[in-house]
């Protein structure tokens, strides 16, 4: 009898075909979000699962899923997975790094330009029929080229954003838990700063840190107060890294110039305080949403699941201690 696998949200047909070569597959192509109770019930008789970052996998769910051997997250972030609980239950957990790096870096620059040059505000102005002709001081933004870019979180995506920034003649500052070697900094043209110094110096601050309990509200009222009044904040990392309520108050009071956001606390429940603000660009978690990238993410998750359930080691294993115990 083939192992049984649940695909919790809609995926591409080729992903299902890949899985079906090895498993009995139950898929949710209607893309209806499971409640925690529904997800636990659906996984109770499954050996593996492809889940989205909106699916919470914790100890309470795992207690009800004795057959489960692998949870393959379709996404690079995995704060929806309780890794200690998965490890305690002997369940392998995987994610999909690398495949979305370039797409997210591209989108980051799109969000930077849209925010600094007021693109969405200008479009709304035009669509509302308010444009009556151009004049010298109309909807002035700030330049991206030549600006000082501060990147908080300097992993694969952060370094790729830095490479993009060199084409805009930007000065690149970064902060990371682990500082790069001098040769690596020189290659990227990047200069290390402490977090507070980076916030003080940067014209544009980009957040690319993973989310965890330790990184919750990395940017709050105190951190925003360190930034220049002319500075722009960009978050393409995870909701919860920014205190959204504090950011809304800062944008209202014009303590910083503007913000560009692709992620939010408690998403998809957006804080309504953002909606009337003209100095924020809002995007519904689209940074990795190119068709080739999303297909690659789903295929990577499928390969992780196949390896885990056919005796191999998943290439993107997050808790290798489970495999070692086996």
Q: Is 267 known to be catalytic?
A: yes
- CATH topology match: 4-98+291-325 vs 101-282: yes
SS (H, E, C) 240-296: CCECHHHHHHHHHCCCCCEEEECCCCCCCCCCHHHCCCCCEEECCCCCCCCHHHHHH
Q: Which of 117, 216, 255, 285 is catalytic?
A: 285
- Listed by start position, the domains of the chain span 4-98+291-325, 101-282
In CATH, 101-282 is 3.40.50.720: yes
pTM across the whole model? 0.93
DSSP per-residue string spanning 112-150: HHHHHTTHHHHHHHHHTT------TTTT----STTPEEE
Q: Which of 9, 238, 294, 303 is catalytic?
A: 238
Q: Is 238 known to be catalytic?
A: yes
In tens digits, what is the pLDDT along the chain, a chain of 326 residues? 899 999 999 999 999 999 999 999 999 999 999 999 999 999 999 999 999 999 999 999 999 999 999 999 999 989 899 999 999 999 999 999 999 999 999 999 999 999 999 999 999 999 999 999 999 999 999 999 999 999 999 999 999 999 999 999 999 999 999 999 999 999 999 999 999 999 999 999 999 999 888 899 999 999 999 999 999 999 999 999 999 999 999 999 999 999 999 999 999 999 999 999 999 999 999 999 999 999 999 999 999 999 999 988 999 999 999 977 76
Element at 186 (helix H, strand E): helix 182-188
Q: Is 285 known to be catalytic?
A: yes
Q: Domain 4-98+291-325, what fold?
A: Rossmann fold (3.40.50)
């Amino acid at each position: 009898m083939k192992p049984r696998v649940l695909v919790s949200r809609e995926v591409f047909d080729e992903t299902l075909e890949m899985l079906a070569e090895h498993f009995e597959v139950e898929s949710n192509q209607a893309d209806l979000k499971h409640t925690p109770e529904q997800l636990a019930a659906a996984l109770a008789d499954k050996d593996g699962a492809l889940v989205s970052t909106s699916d919470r996998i914790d100890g309470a769910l795992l207690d009800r899923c004795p057959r489960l051997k692998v949870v393959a997250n379709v996404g690079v972030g995995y704060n929806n997975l309780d890794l200690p609980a998965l490890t305690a239950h002997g369940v392998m957990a995987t994610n999909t790094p690398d495949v979305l790096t370039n797409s997210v870096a591209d989108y980051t620059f799109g969000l930077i330009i849209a925010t600094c040059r007021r693109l969405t505000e200008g479009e709304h102005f035009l669509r509302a029929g308010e444009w009556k002709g151009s004049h010298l001081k109309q909807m002035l933004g700030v330049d991206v080229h030549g600006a000082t870019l501060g990147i908080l979180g300097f992993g694969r995506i952060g370094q790729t954003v830095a490479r993009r920034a060199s084409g805009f003649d930007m000065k690149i500052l970064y902060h990371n838990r682990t500082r790069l070697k001098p040769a690596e900094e020189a290659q990227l043209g990047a200069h290390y700063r402490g977090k507070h110094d980076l916030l003080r110096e940067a014209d544009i601050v980009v957040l690319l840190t993973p989310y965890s309990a330790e990184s919750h509200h990395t940017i709050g009222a105190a951190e925003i107060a360190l930034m220049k009044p002319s500075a722009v904040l960009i978050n393409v990392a995870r909701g919860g890294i920014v205190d959204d309520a504090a950011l809304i108050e800062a944008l209202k009071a014009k303590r910083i110039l503007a913000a560009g956001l692709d992620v939010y606390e408690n998403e998809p429940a957006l804080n309504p305080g953002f909606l009337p603000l003209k100095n924020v660009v809002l995007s519904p978690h689209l940074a990795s949403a190119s068709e080739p990238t999303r297909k690659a993410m789903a295929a990577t998750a499928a390969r992780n699941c196949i390896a885990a359930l056919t005796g191999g080691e998943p290439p993107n294993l997050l808790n290798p201690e489970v495999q070692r115990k086996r």
